[in-house]
Structure 1
Amino acid sequence: MKFYLETERLILREIKETDLDGIFALDANPKVHLYLGNRPISSKKQALENIQFIQEQYRKRGIGRFACIEKATGEFIGWSGLKFNKGEKEAVNGIQNFIDIGYRFIPKYWKKGYGFESATACLEFGFNQMNYNIINAAALEGNIGSNKILTKIGLQLVSKFSYEDVKANWYELKKEDYGN
């Protein structure tokens, strides 16, 4: 399956091996990983493994994160999209087999509205193209920006949980409530 979405300022497409430098810039940055368990990568080999993992999700699960390309510059700025978390190994908040919406951007692209813009497009894609019934998300309580985006796109806070001894929020949006 090929993925391609456009927003006013972004192109969202499949992540490719040509995105290696961008993925490395993203996932090696400690600021990016502040609310992700503080485990930035340290090599391009790890970045390539991350790309291959996402590509495997496309093949096996029919969905995965999208590369976000800034239209004005053609630059890789991060990723946004949907992921099918499958099985106990990928459970979050004790929940398994769910569609998760998420986004991650290189810091120089923060506070420009790209998270909201891309997440809005991904949510619409998930409900209207992929026909998902429920989309979930998790964000650490301290990640104010991510929590704001999730509520702004319509997800509802349904519970709180502990992720690696840090307080986190669990969000949900059902298709029947989408757009209401």
Structure 2
Amino acid sequence: MTFNIETERLILRELRPTDLNGMFELDSNPEVHKYLGNKPVKTIEESQKILDSVFKQYKERGIGRFAAIEKHTGNFIGWSGIRLNTEYNMNGHTTYYDVGYRFIPKYWGKGYATESGKASVNYAFNVLKLPELYATTHLENEASHRALLKIGMKYVEDFYFEEEQLNLRWYKIESP
């Protein structure tokens, strides 16, 4: 799977094996995992497994998270994008497309979640022709909540995700 989405400040492209160190920097940071169950990875091998899982999603489902690259530096700043969830039941849904993002903390507060999220929603509806998208965020993650609203997601309800023992918010957006 190869693609390239450009926004004003970002390039969203497929994740690659060369993104391994960036993925480790992202997912080994406890601050990043504050609202994700507090389970940061401890080894680069764990990050490799995450990358391998995304590569498998690309092959089997035709979609998976996108690497987010800052245009003016060329730096890997995290990931954003669409994926097809079939792994677990999330708020009564077992097969659905969701939009999400995760960034290295030094790139927080710059509007990258909103910018990449809008591009991802556009891609979902105009390229993939999906009828709807979902998203979740931790109940206490106000920054993510605001970003999801800015990309057009509609808050639906709060729910408890038993698998990870998290209180989450559920969002939905339908194709125009």
Q: How far apart, CA to CA, are the structure 2 residues paired with 1:50 and 1:64?
A: 11
Kindly, what percent of the aligned residue pairs are identical?
Answer: 46
- The residue type equivalent to 1:6 in the other structure is E
Runs of 4+ displaced beyond 6 Å = none
Q: What TM-score do the two structures reach when normalised by structure 2?
A: 0.96
Q: Which residue pairs with 2:27 in the alignment?
A: 27
Question: Which of 110, 113, 118 is 1:112 aligned to?
Answer: 110
Distance in 2 of aligned mates of 1:165 and 1:52: 26
How far residue 167 of structure 1 moved from its aligned partner, in angstroms, is 2.4
Q: Structure 1: which 5+ residue stretches go unaligned? A: none
Q: Which amino acid aligns with 2:125?
A: F
Q: C-alpha separation between the residues in 1 aligned to 2:5 and 2:95?
A: 25
Partner of 1:64: 64
Partner in structure 2 of residue 122 of structure 1: 120
Match of 2:43 in 1: 43
What is the rounded CA distance, in whole Å, between the counterparts of 1:123 and 1:2 in structure 2?
A: 18
Structure 2 counterpart of 1:46, one-letter code: E
Task: Identify the match of residue 145 of structure 1 among 134, 143, 146.
Answer: 143
What residue is the counterpart of 1:134 in the other structure? 132
Give the deviation of 1:166 after TM superposition: 3.5
Shift of the alpha carbon at 1:141?
1.2
Pairs within 5 Å for 1:2-21: 2-21=2-21
TM-score normalised according to structure 1 size:
0.94
Which whole-Å deviations, capped at 9, do the CAs of 1:144-164 have from their partners, x for residues lacking one? 111101111111111210124
Which ranges of structure 2 fall in alignment gaps of 5 or more residues? Answer: none
> 1:119 Cα deviation (Å)?
0.4
Q: How many residues align?
A: 174
Return the offset for 1:75. Answer: 0.5
State the superposition RMSD in angstroms. 1.0
Shift of 1:165: 4.0
Corresponding letter in the other structure for 1:107: P
Cα 1:165–1:56 shift into 2, 3 Å: closer
**Residue in structure 1 matched with residue 78 of structure 2 by the alignment:** 78
